[in-house]
Structure 1
Amino acid sequence: MGAAMNPPNITEAQAPHNRRRGRWQLLLIVAMVIGPMILATGMYKLQFWVPESRSYHGELIGNGQSRADIGVQADETRWQILVTAPKGCSEDCQQLVYLARQIQISLGRDASRASHALAAAQPLDADYQAKLQREYPQLQRYPLDLATFTKGTSDQGAPLLWIVDPHGNLVLRYDARVNGKDLLNDLRHLLKLSNIG
């Protein structure tokens, strides 16, 4: 009788199938990790699938503009409540500066994560300057480059209040009619979501 035939080795037959299956699993894992990042970047850059409902009260700045794009050069690395005054700091501007300080104080234990600032295109009135030095010791002051501000915003003359993230990106914008409670809620929400600054 001839030699008995050996049955084919099952593990050798399954090896190519297992290798293919392993590759598909690896590709699936990579797609699950990288896919959401690509989708989120696309949604941000191309503004698609952005939900219509919103939980903030200011105007969302979703175009990647930075503080420098509106004519303010600063190296603040905390969240910032920034008031811009392209045409002097009149009553509306002064009210926003006061509000910015009050909002920062109202953050309580998170107050150290934020600062308040004024960027003015023109020299301040002497009385108001003295008041700021006396009553606003922590207010940061910057010059506002009017040409850059005019190019970077649609509101040419009105004072505005901005929330700026620790990287210098503009997040929300408010005009002089802003409700202080709404602004405080927006900033608290951003600080809660953020692990920077």
Structure 2
Amino acid sequence: MGTAINPPDTPHAIAPATRRRGRLQLILILLLTVGPMVLATGMYKLKFWVPESRSYHGEMIGNGQSRAALGVATDEQRWQLLVTAPQGCAADCQQLVYLARQLQIGLGRDASRASHGLAVAQPVSADYAAKLQLEYPQLQRYTLDLPTYAQGAEGNGAAQLWIIDPHGNLVLRYGPGVNGKDVLNDLRHLLKLSNIG
């Protein structure tokens, strides 16, 4: 007497509605993960939906320029308040040098995360050099390479104050008449957001 062999169970075919729902879920997951990156890249590259308001007071340098583009050679590893003076350090330059020192002091407990410097294309006067040595002992002094500065700074020849990150990237630029409180707010904000320097 033979026994009947039952054929093995065949897998049930997936219903078309279930298959559609699975595909829709996969598409939604991809859109949620990749979509924001594509949107952000598009906003950056094509400059759309960019808010008009801003929280900083200086001119943002967002083109990847480094301190070397200003014609200043240094390996400073902290945030830096750098005053550049292509025409010599006259009254507006001297005011910015004073402001840079006051800003560093104004950082309080974060003062060690920043430095202040002066880059000039021409030597300063003997009187001002003596004053710098006496009153600004921590001021770093550099020679400004004028041809490089003329190409990279896009300035009008006036003294300027720059905020430079610890990697040497130019972040913000200010002219001679800048309000010190605004620069201090910008610098504090950058230090708060930064894990470097």
Smaller-chain TM-score bracket: 0.7 to 0.9
Partner residue, 2:73: 73
Q: 1:92 to 1:34 in 2, by over 3 A?
A: same
- Tell me how far 1:4 sits from its aligned partner: 1.8
- Tell me how far 1:91 sits from its aligned partner: 0.3
Partner residue, 1:48: 47
Q: Distance between the aligned counterparts of 2:110 and 2:98, measured in 1? A: 19
- Tell me how far 1:152 sits from its aligned partner: 1.1
User: Per-residue displacement from partner, 1:22-52 (whole Å, max 9, x unpaired)?
Assistant: xx69x949x838973x7666765x3624432
Q: Distance between the aligned counterparts of 1:157 and 1:82, measured in 2? A: 15
Q: Distance between the aligned counterparts of 2:110 and 2:34, measured in 1? A: 33
In the alignment, is the contact (CA less than 8 A) between 1:86 and 1:156 conserved in 2?
no
> Pairwise mapping of residues 1-197 of structure 1 onto structure 2 (< 5 A)?
2-8=4-10, 28=30, 32=33, 36=37, 46=45, 48-49=47-48, 50-197=50-197
Q: TM-score, normalised by structure 2?
A: 0.83
- Tell me how far 1:6 sits from its aligned partner: 2.2
Q: TM-score, normalised by structure 1?
A: 0.83
Determine helix, strand or coil for the equivalent of 2:130. helix
Q: Distance between the aligned counterparts of 1:103 and 1:135, measured in 2? A: 15
In the alignment, structure 1 segments of 5+ residues that lack a partner are: none
CA RMSD, Structure 1 to Structure 2 (Å): 2.6
User: Per-residue displacement from partner, 1:97-138 (whole Å, max 9, x unpaired)?
Assistant: 000000000000000000000000000100000000001000
Determine helix, strand or coil for the equivalent of 2:87. coil
- Tell me how far 1:8 sits from its aligned partner: 2.1
Q: Distance between the aligned counterparts of 1:70 and 1:47, measured in 2? A: 28
Pick the structure with greater CA Rg: 2
Determine helix, strand or coil for the equivalent of 1:118. strand
Aligned residues: 185
User: Per-residue displacement from partner, 1:60-81 (whole Å, max 9, x unpaired)?
Assistant: 1111111101111110010000
In the alignment, is the contact (CA less than 8 A) between 1:67 and 1:169 conserved in 2?
yes
Q: Which moved more, 1:1-10 or 1:158-167?
A: 1-10
Determine helix, strand or coil for the equivalent of 1:134. helix
Q: Distance between the aligned counterparts of 2:103 and 2:84, measured in 1? A: 16
